[in-house]
Amino acid sequence: MEFVEDRDPFPDLRVKIGTLELQNPVLTASGTFGYAREFANLVNLYRLGGVVVKGISLFPRPGNPPPRIIETSCGMLNAIGLENVGVDRFITEKMPYLLGIDTPVIVNILGDSIEEYKHLTEKLTVVPGVSAIEVNISCPNVKKGGVAFGSDPDMAAAVTSVVKENTHLPVIVKLSPNVTDISQIAWAVQQAGADAVSLINTLVGMAVDLKTKRPRLANIIGGLSGPAIKPVALRMVYQVARSVSIPVIGIGGIETAEDALEFMLAGATAVQIGTANFINPRASEEVVEGITDYVIREKLHSVREMIGALDTE
Amino acid sequence: MSQYQENATIIRFEQLTDTNIRLTLQTEEIAAAAKPGQFVMIRTGKSKDPLLRRPFSIHQTSSSGRIQILFKVTGRGTALLAHCKEGETLSVFGPLGHGFHIDPAKAACLIGGGMGVAPMLFLAKRICQMKKDTDTDLIILGGRNRSEIEPLLADFHFLDIGVMVATDDGSYGRHGLVTDVMKTISLPDNCTVYTCGPHLMMKEVFRQCRKKKIECQVSVESVMACGMGACLGCNMVAKNSRYVHVCSDGPVFNAEDLEWNL
Ligand SMILES: Cc1cc2nc3c(=O)[nH]c(=O)nc-3n(C[C@H](O)[C@H](O)[C@H](O)COP(=O)(O)OP(=O)(O)OC[C@H]3O[C@@H](n4cnc5c(N)ncnc54)[C@H](O)[C@@H]3O)c2cc1C
Ligand SMILES: Cc1cc2nc3c(=O)[nH]c(=O)nc-3n(C[C@H](O)[C@H](O)[C@H](O)COP(=O)(O)O)c2cc1C
Ligand code: FES
């Protein structure tokens, strides 16, 4: 007779983001998982830690002209231009489905002014099924001459405060890597009340076509994502985790459970899977499976033992 | 609409010309679910570079759970695919997108140029299954030269639809473009034109259709990352400066709905 190995088949993968309890640390990244429904017949959505949906603005946005994407070495550039249906249609058309998926739904918001962030928060906070708000501060503040909210600590703090004041939901502020000192921004949004920070958003880059002597994206510049940015993202997660006390959500080039666990060692409480969803639509669920196996194999009491356990001695 | 991610065994690898290759893949679920005009996204290698899958039209399916794709080597991804071997596996994702709309009550004219021939075979086969009488139907295929077009014809000649061929250099069929051939024939009023090929070719096909007030369905291309409506990267300008997404709203559109700058 074979021995059945004596181990817990349901290891403890739970993590907490503010008051939001996740059954595991694996989320999907905004803009890479649609409104979740697109993946419903490929992924068991209920097995994910949560889904972060495509960035929502106060009014619908058409986005940028084509071409919007171009592949680069081990990565891709995108200049989607935040195309989305607007918050009202999101609530009436997308939320009914999301309400039924039995996994926390985090809504990513973006605005051109502090007032827009305020209105978005007011509208979303009363919608059943919204578990948390992720604030994308990478967009330019049209009223302040187009400087991105995310590149100025005071403006980042101001956006965070206004969102916090208008919701009881956990607020995650998504940081832009296109700054001199990301820890400084992280600190500012923590002081303004953020429950967590997520990072990184895409790195600004560009690609040129020598043959046509033209930029490869209609928008000329775009955001770099995918495996190419993982080392940068890891470094930033490591730095930010050492300078704030709120949870850090790691994003950037994560494709496998090993990648995700590396981010946790560097200080991430949870992770988001982005570009990998395009190559393997099942990537997020496979990361959950891989982390489960790891926790069992390494006989951890919980996955939380991994958070910040990097040995730098 | 269900999609599947399968590890497909390469059953047959056929080098048709220096640059053109036909692959037969064992993909049970995709083959069973596919409709003419739909496409698959294929990982061209196992490494992180090139990162993204590449889109290919489904050339034909078989009841034994196989699909065929027909492709031209144009860059790094297709060059990698050109080096795969029978017995190896490829990750294939599909079937994706909205295919052709077939009205069995109408006559059909299928016009494929270059690699745009690929979806036409699957479409022609389905039309033959759906219609009792294909006497008024017609297929026009075009390519650069004899070697590009000849290996593809056998499958079309099995069908009960007449085939006309045009080559750029006149080495096979008529000398000229498919759109030159199109000018010489009189299409019935109650006809749908289905077309796939280079942008300029499709534009000319549509221009002729519009003049004759004939319905025209086009299968178009764009760069793609996900192929399933998640990244919003595959937009194209439609009528009234609206954007459509080629992977999820298309790749087949009613030509009227797109902007052609005619
Ligand atoms: C729905 C759809 C169906 C397609 N069906 C077929 C088919 O049946 N047979 C076939 O040979 N090809 C088909 N294509 C085109 C095919 O996807 C591209 O040729 C392929 O992606 C090129 O990859 P690469 O890595 O070899 O080239 P890259 O190194 O990526 O690029 C080489 C050149 O090809 C161009 N290119 C890249 N991607 C595309 C694209 N998606 N469409 C057009 N040009 C592109 C680039 O601009 C560049 O000039 C289809 C495309 C779409 C969107
Ligand atoms: C096509 C695309 C669209 C994106 N859209 C958004 C968005 O709407 N809001 C946002 O905060 N981040 C957006 N992102 C950034 C991702 O959420 C993520 O931060 C970034 O891609 C890095 O992770 P990755 O390397 O795993 O993709 C987008 C990324 C891509 C590739
Ligand atoms: S290719 Fe991603 S939405 Fe069309």
How many domains does one find in chain A?
A: 1
| Type of residue found at A23 | Q
* Confidence label for A142 from pLDDT (cuts 50, 70 and 90): low
> Which residue type sits at B25?
L
C-alpha dihedral sign at B52, B57, B61, B67: negative
B90 pairs with which residues across the strands?
A: B8
Gap between the Cα atoms of B19 and B71, Å rounded: 8
What pLDDT, in 10s, does the model give residues A266-300?
Answer: 999 999 999 999 999 999 999 999 999 999 999 99
CB of A35 less than 8 A from some CB of B: no
Q: Does some domain include residue A107?
A: yes
Tell me, yes or no, whether A293 lies in a domain: yes
**A chain contacts of residue B261, beta-carbon cutoff 8 Å:** none
Buried-exposed string A185-211: b where 16+ CB fall within 10 A, e elsewhere: bbbbbbebebbbbbbbbbbbbbbeeee
Determine, for residues B51 and A76 on separate chains, whether the beta-carbon distance falls below 8 Å. Answer: yes
Question: How far apart are the C-alpha atoms of B90 and A142, rounded to whole Å?
Answer: 47
pLDDT band at B233 (very low <50, low <70, confident <90, very high): very high
pLDDT in tens, B28-45: 999 999 999 999 999 999
Instruction: Assess whether pLDDT exceeds 80 at residue A162.
Output: yes
Determine the average pLDDT of the residues in B117-134.
94
pLDDT band at B101 (very low <50, low <70, confident <90, very high): very high
Exposed (0-12), middle (13-18) or buried (19+): which is B218, by Cβ within 10 Å? buried
State the residue for tokens 């101001």: A158
B221 C-alpha to center of ligand 1: Å? 8
Looking at the domain assignment, is residue A186 inside a domain?
yes
Q: Is residue A179 part of a domain?
A: yes
SS3 state at B228: coil
Q: Which residues of B touch A282 (CB under 8 A)?
A: 5
Q: Which long-range contacts (CB under 8 A, 24 or more apart) does B7-10 make?
A: B7/B89, B7/B90, B7/B91, B7/B92, B8/B89, B8/B90, B8/B91, B8/B92, B9/B87, B9/B88, B9/B89, B10/B84, B10/B85, B10/B86, B10/B87, B10/B88, B10/B89, B10/B90
- Strands A196-199 and A171-174, bridge-based pairing: parallel
A71 domain-assigned? no
Residue having the nearest C-alpha atom to atom 4 of ligand 2: A31
Check: CB of residue B127 under 8 Å from CB of residue B136: no
- Chain A contact set for B232 (CB, 8 A): 31, 54, 63, 68, 80, 83
Q: Locate B182 and state its tokens.
A: 């199109």
Q: What whole-number distance in Å separates Cα of residue A40 and Cα of residue A101?
A: 9
C-beta separation of B174 from B181 below 8 A:
yes
Q: How many CB pairs under 8 A join A and B?
A: 92
* Ramachandran class of A145: left when φ > 0, alpha when ψ lies in -120 to 50, beta otherwise: left
Name the least confident of A274-288, B102-116, B179-193, B212-226.
Answer: B179-193
Q: What is the mean pLDDT of residues A60-80?
A: 96
Predicted pLDDT at A1: 45
- Residue A145: pLDDT band (50, 70, 90) is low
The structure tokens listed for A71 are 């592949």
Q: Let me know if residue A311 belongs to a domain.
A: no
Asked whether residue A109 is assigned to any structural domain, the reply reads yes
pLDDT reading at A233 higher than 60: yes
Q: What's the average model confidence in pLDDT over A186-193? A: 97
Q: What is the mean pLDDT of residues A70-99?
A: 96
Does residue B60 contact residue B30 with C-beta atoms inside 8 Å? Answer: no
B:32-61 residues touching chain A, CB 8 A cutoff: 43, 48-53
ipTM confidence: 0.94
With CB atoms and an 8 Å threshold, state whether B225 touches A78: yes
Nearest to B71 by CA among B14, B3, B9, B29: B14
Mean pLDDT of A201-215: 96
- CA closest to B235 among chain A residues: A66
Task: Determine whether the interchain pair B230/A70 forms a contact, defined as Cβ–Cβ distance below 8 Å.
Answer: no
Degrees to nearest 5, angle at CA B58 with B55 and B63: 140
pLDDT exceeds cutoff 60 at A4? no
Q: pLDDT over 90 for what percent of chain A?
A: 92
- Tell me whether strands A221-225 and A214-215 are parallel, antiparallel or unpaired: unpaired
Residue A193 lies in a domain: yes
Going along chain B from its start, the domains and CATH numbers come out as: 4-96 (2.40.30.10), 107-221 (3.40.50.80)
- Say what the pLDDT of residue A287 is: 98
Omega before A249 cis (within 30°)?
Answer: no
Q: Show the domain range for A184.
A: 15-63+81-202+226-306
Alpha carbon distance A303, B46 (integer Å) = 29
Q: Is the pLDDT of residue A6 over 60?
A: no
Q: How far is CA A117 from the centre of its chain?
A: 18
pLDDT in tens, B165-202: 999 999 999 999 999 999 999 888 899 999 999 999 99
Tens of pLDDT, residues A90-99:
999 999 999 9
The answer to whether residues A77 and A224 touch, using CB atoms and an 8 Å cutoff, is: yes
Q: How confident is the model at residue A8 (pLDDT cuts 50, 70, 90)?
A: low
Give the per-residue pLDDT at B84: 95
Per the annotation, the verdict on A139 as an active-site residue is: yes
Residues 6+ apart with CB under 8 A from B47: none
Domain harbouring A117, CATH code: 3.20.20.70
Query: Are B235 and A227 an interchain contact pair (Cβ–Cβ within 8 Å)?
Result: no
pLDDT at A9: 65
Q: Which of A85, A133, A139, A283 is catalytic?
A: A139
pTM: 0.95
Predicted confidence (pLDDT) per residue in B46-70, tens digit: 999 999 999 999 999 999 999 999 9
Round to whole Å and give the CA distance between A144 and A44: 43
